[in-house]
A and B are shown apart, each in its own frame.
Chain A
Amino acid sequence: MFRGAVHLCAGRGHLGRRLSTLRGGSALGKVEGTGGHHGSGVPPVSSCVTFRTWDPGRAGQTVGQLGEGGWAGKVSEIKKTLQSVLPGGAWNSLYDTSHLPPEQSDVVIVGGGVLGLSVAYWLKRLEKQRGAIRVLVVEQDHTYSQASTGLSVGGIRQQFSLPENIQLSLFSVNFLRNINDYLAVVDDPPLDLQFNPSGYLLLASEEGAAILESNVKVQRQEGAKVCLMSPEQLRNKFPWINTEGVALASYGLEGEGWFDPWCLLQGLRRKVQAMGVHFCHGEVTRFVSSSNRMETTSGEEITLKRIHEVHVKMDHSVEYQPVECAIVINAAGAWSGRVAELAGIGKGPPGTLQGTKLPVEPRKRYVYVWHCPQGPGLESPLVADTSGVYFRRDGLGNNYLGGCSPTEEEEPDPENLEVDHDFFQNKVWPRLAWRIPAFESLKVRSAWAGYYDYNTFDQNGVVGPHPLVANMYFATGFSGHGLQQAPAVGRAVAEMVLEGRFQTINLNAFLFSRFFLGEKVQEHNIF
């Protein structure tokens, strides 16, 4: 049956395409938004093709029957009913084929996490004409069980050392503040981002104080509201901190805190779906590309590649569906290194551009949740200690969560997402209790682990096209701050795709070529 469905779909691509002008336009376009529909007059062929072949003609007539007066309201009711019945709604059909990708798409985005969705959003938003670009998002796991987005702690800050990172976060905080303007969908309730504007408090030791101070200077220049605090001030404001060994602290006054990452993810998903982006549930397993041998002026031979087709392996099936495309966006998070390899990136003699890998790999990070009746109160910000340990309040009931990045030698095996509780006992708790004496008695309630999309080269994002595989664009490698920067990065990538250059924020420093040239753009504030 499944096989049949795949083949059937394959024959349908250009039709869906021909009608794509209707997409997003009619209310019924929504129906099509998850699949694509036949032109009127093409009879439905098989019993296993369900709503994909919804005929707008007949559907329209059903609506027509409802009569004249006030039918705009009725229309929206019908629309809702249809949506509730359709994939993504509560109802699920056994023969639902809507998860199959279209045969062609202008842009294929690998990874439906927050970065992939943000790119999709900005592509649709910045397109010159409604419905001009067909965008497909391929996500292998619609439960997002391992995706970093849902497993993050949802923090946003401007306390970075690089101007680019500060600008990205400032843009994003503005986006998040106006999220219900950006991501408003007619008839859907507003999003509740649950933003806690409690700020970040970074502590620095004697050695770190000078760097902290110069970082704050840069942050202020960029427009972030950050202040410096002496240990004395710290004791007055947050008496629960032991200031021993703290020489200086920086504290974010505005636009810093934490929010619900799921809300952002779902909000983006809902919006891009309403904008006509296609979703499909499957794994990208292969790229079909053509190569072109060329010689540089210096006589060096290089191979330029172009991806023509993306193979999407459907879930629980050996079938794959080829999708013809013009542009591929690699937003596969912690797995983007692997996806890059599929496109042949890094497969060449070492030291050459061809042999330069995308240095992004999964790194396991633990988050522990504990209860401490005597712990810091409502005023408590997210505190990042000199030792690298961080924590924040979680709700009102004296619950806290936090963790610590392991050293390079301690890096746990990223094979699975099991939590190492000894790590808390031996590495996190002692430092935590030293800094916040109240945490000497606490009770760990739960814990989880997630993957950082870790850029081993310089812990910063990778944005923009690959120099050789010229139609693969990256939006990855943000090593623990990708969630908060996603709204801005999505825009940057979309600008690069549509205009060929960064317009809002200049991210030339984050281009792939730095790996080959060995130019690190080091971010000091990673924890």
Chain B
Amino acid sequence: MAAPRASLNLVAPVWNGVTKSIRDLSSSVAPKGSQKKGKRLLQFLADRFYDVEALREYLLQKQVSKVHQENRSFTYIKERYGPYVAGAYFVLKQGGAVKFQGQEWIQSSGRRPSSLELLSFQAVPVESVDASDCAINYEGLDNLLALKELQSLSLQRCPHVDDWCLSRLYQLADSLQELSLAGCPRVSERGLACLHHLQNLRRLDISDLPAVSNPGLTQILMEEMLPNCEVLGADWAQGLKSRPEKQSQDTASPTPA
């Protein structure tokens, strides 16, 4: 690819150069004098370009809409069987696990729980949800936000959970005690700041968040913001050992008294 670029760079300011070099190139491909044929080829290429471009755009759109599709709410189930069954059904369908109050964990792998089995829990609140590695996004979160007794939620490594999602978790403020966001690629300190609503939180895992620009500082600020919560994050002590100067600098200025 280097070659055409170089030639473009060289000749672009001088138009004659461009024509010449391009003629040279083209003559090697199209037989001399077959101007017409060249034109047809050109038309073909132009059409093809159009298609490739359109196709790629279409594929891109398709990818997006697949995620949206997977995150539809099961309005019918919800209306008919209530939020617990609908929420559980959603999580299981996404490949996660749920735990109804006083019951065992139900997982989607292996034996698929029959709808009948779920139906027996209609009146039993969902206590824990493990949605690790699920394709859950902002819309899909609706299903979880309806679980008003949810105490423990794991969203580990969810590729579509972002700061916008975190800004909605306040709806679970009354019940949520444990939350894991470890490994979510799109969660940043900006979303974490909204977790101050979760005043009942006892345990928060924010380790391994690549989008957080300053993990050490963020952890400290999170601990300050949620004084009753144990915040698991970048291994602070370890960081101190490996890069003492840098870390101590981080703490020096911004820690409010």
B166 near A: Cβ within 8 Å?
yes
- Quick one: closest A residue to B11, CB to CB? A50
B56 near A: Cβ within 8 Å?
yes
Interface size bucket, B side?
35 or more
- Quick one: closest B residue to A49, CB to CB? B15
Stretch from A121-129, A374-382, A456-464, A512-520 forming part of the interface with B: A374-382
B240 near A: Cβ within 8 Å?
no
- Quick one: closest B residue to A186, CB to CB? B56
Q: Is B1 within 8 A of A81, CB to CB?
A: yes
Stretch from B78-86, B118-126, B190-198 forming part of the interface with A: B190-198
Given A58-B23, A373-B254, decide whether A378 and B192 contact each other with a Cβ distance below 8 A: yes
- Taking CB atoms, residues of chain A closer than 8 Å to B26 are 58, 61-62, 65
Q: Is A53 within 8 A of B224, CB to CB?
A: no
Measured CB to CB, the closest approach of chain A to B80, in angstroms, equals 25
Measured CB to CB, the closest approach of chain B to A272, in angstroms, equals 15
14 A-B pairs besides A26-B46, A60-B41, A181-B61 with CB distance below 8 A are A44-B15, A48-B15, A50-B13, A56-B46, A57-B38, A58-B23, A61-B22, A64-B45, A91-B12, A93-B12, A177-B164, A186-B57, A194-B190, A196-B163
Q: Is B167 within 8 A of A197, CB to CB?
A: yes
Q: Is A196 within 8 A of B14, CB to CB?
A: no
Q: Is B19 within 8 A of A378, CB to CB?
A: no
Q: Is B12 within 8 A of A25, CB to CB?
A: no
Measured CB to CB, the closest approach of chain B to A251, in angstroms, equals 10
- Taking CB atoms, residues of chain B closer than 8 Å to A379 are 193, 196, 225
Stretch from A71-79, A201-209, A412-420, A444-452 forming part of the interface with B: A71-79
Q: Which 4 A-B pairs have the closest CB atoms?
A: A197-B167, A379-B196, A61-B26, A25-B50
Q: Could you list 17 A-B pairs, sorted by A, with CB under 8 Å?
A: A57-B38, A58-B23, A62-B26, A74-B1, A78-B4, A195-B164, A195-B190, A197-B193, A253-B167, A373-B253, A378-B196, A378-B222, A396-B217, A396-B218, A396-B221, A397-B217, A397-B254
- Taking CB atoms, residues of chain A closer than 8 Å to B192 are 378
Measured CB to CB, the closest approach of chain A to B204, in angstroms, equals 13
- Taking CB atoms, residues of chain A closer than 8 Å to B52 are 27, 72, 75-76
Measured CB to CB, the closest approach of chain A to B36, in angstroms, equals 11
Measured CB to CB, the closest approach of chain A to B226, in angstroms, equals 9
Q: Which of B15-37 contact A (CB under 8 A)?
A: 15-16, 18-19, 22-23, 25-26, 28-30
B110 near A: Cβ within 8 Å?
no
Q: Is A47 within 8 A of B42, CB to CB?
A: no
Q: Is A184 within 8 A of B60, CB to CB?
A: yes
Q: Is A196 within 8 A of B25, CB to CB?
A: no
A297 near B: Cβ within 8 Å?
no
- Cα distance, A195 to B164, chains bound together (Å): 8
A511 near B: Cβ within 8 Å?
no
A198 near B: Cβ within 8 Å?
yes
Q: Which of A66-87 contact B (CB under 8 A)?
A: 72, 74-78, 81-82, 84-85
A426 near B: Cβ within 8 Å?
no
Measured CB to CB, the closest approach of chain B to A396, in angstroms, equals 6
Q: Is A63 within 8 A of B45, CB to CB?
A: yes
Q: Is B22 within 8 A of A396, CB to CB?
A: no
Q: Is B49 within 8 A of A64, CB to CB?
A: no
A162 near B: Cβ within 8 Å?
no
Q: Is B8 within 8 A of A47, CB to CB?
A: no
Q: Is B28 within 8 A of A65, CB to CB?
A: yes
B53 near A: Cβ within 8 Å?
yes
Q: Is B57 within 8 A of A197, CB to CB?
A: no
Q: Is A82 within 8 A of B222, CB to CB?
A: no
Chain A proximity mask over B174-209: 1 for CB below 8 Å, otherwise 0? 000000000000000111111011000000000000
- Quick one: closest B residue to A372, CB to CB? B256
- Cα distance, A72 to B39, chains bound together (Å): 20
Q: Is B164 within 8 A of A58, CB to CB?
A: no
Q: Is B256 within 8 A of A398, CB to CB?
A: yes
Q: Is A62 within 8 A of B45, CB to CB?
A: no
- Quick one: closest B residue to A181, CB to CB? B64
- Taking CB atoms, residues of chain B closer than 8 Å to A76 are 52
Chain B proximity mask over A299-330: 1 for CB below 8 Å, otherwise 0? 00000000000000000000000000000000
Q: Is A398 within 8 A of B254, CB to CB?
A: yes
A407 near B: Cβ within 8 Å?
no
- Quick one: closest A residue to B56, CB to CB? A186
A424 near B: Cβ within 8 Å?
no
Q: Is A59 within 8 A of B22, CB to CB?
A: yes
- Cα distance, A74 to B3, chains bound together (Å): 13
Q: Is A378 within 8 A of B53, CB to CB?
A: no
Measured CB to CB, the closest approach of chain B to A95, in angstroms, equals 6
- Taking CB atoms, residues of chain A closer than 8 Å to B42 are 40, 56-57, 60-61
- Taking CB atoms, residues of chain B closer than 8 Å to A49 are 15
- Cα distance, A130 to B57, chains bound together (Å): 14
Measured CB to CB, the closest approach of chain B to A12, in angstroms, equals 14
Q: Is B49 within 8 A of A28, CB to CB?
A: yes
- Cα distance, A197 to B191, chains bound together (Å): 6
Given A28-B49, A64-B45, decide whether A53 and B15 contact each other with a Cβ distance below 8 A: yes
- Cα distance, A168 to B18, chains bound together (Å): 49
Q: Which of B107-136 contact A (CB under 8 A)?
A: none
Given A78-B1, A194-B190, A378-B222, decide whether A64 and B13 contact each other with a Cβ distance below 8 A: no
B138 near A: Cβ within 8 Å?
yes
- Quick one: closest A residue to B53, CB to CB? A27
- Cα distance, A396 to B60, chains bound together (Å): 35
- Quick one: closest A residue to B224, CB to CB? A377
Q: Is A93 within 8 A of B13, CB to CB?
A: yes
Chain B proximity mask over A378-407: 1 for CB below 8 Å, otherwise 0? 110000000000000000111000000000
Q: Is A25 within 8 A of B53, CB to CB?
A: yes
A51 near B: Cβ within 8 Å?
yes
Q: Is A62 within 8 A of B4, CB to CB?
A: yes
A229 near B: Cβ within 8 Å?
no
Measured CB to CB, the closest approach of chain A to B231, in angstroms, equals 12
- Cα distance, A22 to B49, chains bound together (Å): 11
- Cα distance, A40 to B36, chains bound together (Å): 11
- Taking CB atoms, residues of chain A closer than 8 Å to B213 are 396
- Cα distance, A298 to B28, chains bound together (Å): 75
A1 near B: Cβ within 8 Å?
no
Q: Which of B218-252 contact A (CB under 8 A)?
A: 218, 221-222, 224-225
Q: Is B256 within 8 A of A374, CB to CB?
A: yes
B168 near A: Cβ within 8 Å?
yes
Partner of A62, one of B25, B64, B166: B25
A164 near B: Cβ within 8 Å?
no
Q: Is A377 within 8 A of B167, CB to CB?
A: no
